[in-house]
Amino acid sequence: MVNSFGLLANPLRYRIVEIRASGEHMSGNISDVVVGNYGVSRAAVSKQLAILRENGWVEFREEGSARWYYLVEEVWQRIDSDVSWLKYLWDRRIGYFSGNDTDPRLASTWSPWGLHTES
């Protein structure tokens, strides 16, 4: 699973998440906005939606022939966890000049909260 920063680093995915944070939207409406903002194809938007779904960030419900996408509430916990992990490392001040940890291997990609943060 890709960490929050890895997922949100892509501007299309960030825009999709931004739109989803405002509520449920039909896939066509989301595509219209993202295509208009970035000049990409609908296929490019669909690909980014699929990546967000595969990583558990968005889900959809079907209503007739429409798909309504929404942001999964647990993403806020994931974002908080990824930020907390970086804050944890910062607080430990890994590096020679800080006088704390001198071994950069201690800055692993495995968080103390049990979430793998590799992208």
Chain-wide mean pLDDT for the chain?
Answer: 84
Please state whether the predicted TM-score (pTM) of the whole model is above 0.85.
Answer: no
Residue 93's pLDDT is 67
- Tell whether 101 is covered by a domain: no
Kindly report the CATH number assigned to the domain that includes residue 16.
1.10.10.10
Phi-psi domain of 3 (left: phi exceeds 0; alpha: psi -120 through 50; beta: other) = beta
Sign of CA dihedral 68, 50, 9, 6: positive
- pLDDT tens across 16-67, in order? 999 999 999 999 999 999 999 999 999 999 999 999 999 999 999 999 999 9
How many domains does the structure of the chain reveal? 1
